[in-house]
A and B are shown apart, each in its own frame.
Chain A
Amino acid sequence: MIDINGVTMTFERDGVPFTAVEDIDLTIADGEFASIIGPSGCGKTTLLKIIAGLVTPTAGTVTVDGNVIDGPGPERALVFQNFVLLPWASVLDNAAFGLEARGVAKEERRRIAREQLAKMGLSGFEQHYPRELSGGMQQRVGIARALAVDPSNLLMDEPFGALDALTRQLMQKDLLDLWEEAEARTAAFVTHSMDEAVYLSDRIVLMNTRPGRIEEIIEVPFPRENRADVVSQADYNEFTRYLWSRLEGMQRADMDTRGADG
């Protein structure tokens, strides 16, 4: 479970204080898949980094699985937008890297990494370097690396943002399948894509800019089991139309304030 309480993050940017996120309250329940979506600059990535413990908020606390965090912890794992694999290490060593960081013995971590890679359909690529893999395959390694440490909370920062549309759809489906078979695991998923958020999440957290804040939290009104068929339903169209109107409104308002500023 992830419990965010009154979190504010202020940076100093060119000597001017800049509030990335302000007074965020959000609880993501055990086993829940929550997407965080909003126009660029709404602080969604900052919020995810705060949950990951990579950034310390100026005010407020984050409680994960009952403990107030003050840095990264073994109950969380992060998947990065640009994969962030070690270019000099094999796919196997990359997938095992989280375990290595946590001091798991070599045989053990390789066994686990091999298992995770197999689940991601990467058997046979263990000895390749990341650059020899496509973007989609590289992100599969990134996901395998995160799942290898068996985190109860999976944090993903636009993990499919750098992939082409087709690869993206395939990855979404595979992630959902992995999700279904995993035991109760909590997910915070930052995305730009409305469809992706609707397809994957139990709840969608809409964030707005200047300062970054939560605008609305929306339950996805479709059962997760047959999400794949959801596209044909009229309800889906109505739901996405609503989501889109909210996002469009925020994006336009943000453009207007920027225009007024400059």
Chain B
Amino acid sequence: MSLHGDTTTTTAERSTVTKRPSLSERFGTDLPRIGVGAGSLAAGAVAWDLYARSADPLFAPRASSIWSAFVGLLGDSEFWQSYATTLRPFLWGWAAAMVVGLTFGLVIGMSSTIRALAGPHLSFFNALPVSTLVPAIVIAFGIDTVARSTVVFLFAVIEVTLTAASGVQYVDRDLLDMGRSFGLGRVRRFTRIILPGSAPAIAAAVRIGTARAVVGMVVMELLLVSVGVGKLISRYRDGFDAPRLYAVVLSLAVFALFVNGLMRLVEGRAQPWKDDEA
């Protein structure tokens, strides 16, 4: 792994070090928590359904009809094509936000001069609702992939930058002192202390930035001319097809949860030295 510089420990050696808990061990203690969570979700669905019995079906369709619309969408190739269309600019914008945000964040975290110069701009853009920039993006880039990627990028990049920058600033001062006492050079100071030391913040930046990118993706679909998932949403809206409309919303929630879970997994894997049983 690049973070470890030149450690050549084999997987076999490593596995004697960190004992990975078996599946039953890992979930055994989590079972009550999972049970409570699932129960709470089920109760929410029941409450919704109770409300929907007496409400206007156009506004609040029954949980069962949303569910069958959802299952129906999963078997529909157009649904998957819509996601494919939406995900392309999502991935471009996400990747650009990660590269730019992490790089910029690390630089800002390390240099107090650049931090002082960039600080006001970052605060400004952090306070600005990104949606207000969408018209300007349309004028500049039109409505195609570049414009769509840009929306996603702008939604994520500031959070990524700020989170990564704060991580670098909180790298253990003692470690930096220790490095200095041994005459550690600039390059090794970065690769051996600052980079691994801010790994938790970098992982958090990626996770938060990804969540923001998902929001950007939805906004992009709703505010620009819709071609992907947004097209499904506007079609079902215009047709007053409430169950399918809610089913698309549900699919977006599932997608966001999936991406978030993926990021947490990556976050855990990125720090093998952390005790995950603690």
Chain B binds chain A: yes
Residues of A within 8 A of B (CB): 52-54, 72-74, 76-78, 80, 82, 84, 86-90, 93, 97-98, 100-102, 106, 127-129, 131-132, 149
Per-residue 0/1 for B253-277: is the Cβ within 8 Å of any A Cβ (1 yes, 0 no)? 0000000000000000001011100
Is B193 part of the binding interface, using a Cβ–Cβ cutoff of 8 Å? yes
Q: Which residues of B contact A98 (CB under 8 A)?
A: 182
Please report the total number of B residues contacting A with Cβ < 8 Å: 31
Per-residue 0/1 for B185-200: is the Cβ within 8 Å of any A Cβ (1 yes, 0 no)? 1001000110010010
Q: Nearest CB to that of A103 among chain B residues? A: B185
Is B75 part of the binding interface, using a Cβ–Cβ cutoff of 8 Å? no
Contacting residue for A93 out of B7, B14, B178, B183, CB 8 A? B7
Contacting residue for A128 out of B4, B17, B174, CB 8 A? B17
* Cβ contact within 8 Å between B174 and A84: yes
Q: Nearest CB to that of B10 among chain A residues? A: A127
Contacting residue for B13 out of A76, A86, A127, CB 8 A? A127
Give A242 Cβ to nearest chain B Cβ, in Å.
35
* Cβ contact within 8 Å between B178 and A78: yes
- Apart from A72-B183, A132-B17, 14 more pairs, CB < 8 Å: A54-B180, A72-B182, A73-B183, A77-B182, A84-B174, A84-B177, A84-B178, A86-B175, A88-B199, A93-B7, A97-B192, A100-B188, A129-B17, A131-B273
* Cβ contact within 8 Å between A88 and B3: yes
Residues of B within 8 A of A (CB): 3-4, 6-7, 9, 13-14, 16-18, 172, 174-175, 177-185, 188, 192-193, 196, 199, 271, 273-275
* Cβ contact within 8 Å between A72 and B181: yes
Q: Which residues of B contact A53 (CB under 8 A)?
A: 181
* Cβ contact within 8 Å between B181 and A88: no
Q: Which residues of A contact B18 (CB under 8 A)?
A: 129
Q: Nearest CB to that of B18 among chain A residues? A: A129
Q: Which residues of B contact A87 (CB under 8 A)?
A: 273-274
* Cβ contact within 8 Å between A88 and B271: yes
Q: Which residues of B contact A54 (CB under 8 A)?
A: 177, 180-181
